[in-house]
Copies of this chain bind each other. A is one copy, B any other.
């Protein structure tokens, strides 16, 4: 759970800057949007985490890692895993270690490149993941259960725009520095 300014409303509505003497409250709408986006993903993620622990005694990062491997019979390298999961390499190293330990994953040297290792689900790991995935999908469907199909599509589309916009902003930050360096 957690992360950035959270608790976007519910108790006393926050929006955290209104009324702060030194703050411009210029882009208030964008700020509120970010807080709401964060609230949604934090709520959902926290509940998934809770249910995975309760029902399957598994952590979310491990479930995520297994999900990446479920469709990859031949396995993935650690680098591929870290890219797809959007986490650091060192993080994946530890997760894989624990999942190999518990018998869910196998790990072998890659044939073509002696630096890399291929990681794959064991039959046991695959069985365990499939069982979890079925329930997981039902949970997600329930979370969004009050949205009409059109609303789901609308959200997808708008989030697609937000994603593209963020990608652009991350690639080309709007800093003072940047403006000077790249006119």
Nearest first, the 5 closest Cβ-Cβ pairs linking A and B are A146-B165, A27-B141, A7-B84, A41-B41, A2-B87
The docked-state distance in angstroms from the alpha carbon of A159 to that of B36 is 7
**This chain: copies in complex:** 2
A58 contacts chain B at the CB level, 8 A cutoff: no
Given A27-B137, A134-B24, does the pair A142, B173 have CB atoms closer than 8 Å? yes
B67→A5 contact, CB < 8 A: yes
Contacts of A162 in B (CB 8 A): 40, 143-144, 147, 155
Given A143-B169, A159-B155, does the pair A23, B137 have CB atoms closer than 8 Å? yes
- State which residues 29-53 of A face B: CB under 8 Å: 29-34, 36-48
- State which residues 5-30 of A face B: CB under 8 Å: 5-7, 11, 14, 16-20, 22-24, 26-27, 29-30
**Residue from B17, B34, B64 within 8 A of A143 (CB atoms):** B34
The docked-state distance in angstroms from the alpha carbon of A110 to that of B2 is 25
B142→A174 contact, CB < 8 A: yes
Q: Count the A residues whose beta carbon is within 8 Å of the partner chain — how many?
A: 89
Mark A68-87 against chain B: 1 for CB-CB distance below 8 A, else 0. Answer: 10110000000000011111
Given A5-B68, A34-B144, 19 new contacts (CB under 8 A): A5-B64, A6-B86, A16-B71, A17-B133, A20-B70, A22-B134, A23-B137, A27-B141, A29-B153, A30-B152, A31-B137, A36-B156, A37-B159, A40-B41, A41-B41, A46-B86, A143-B165, A144-B165, A146-B164
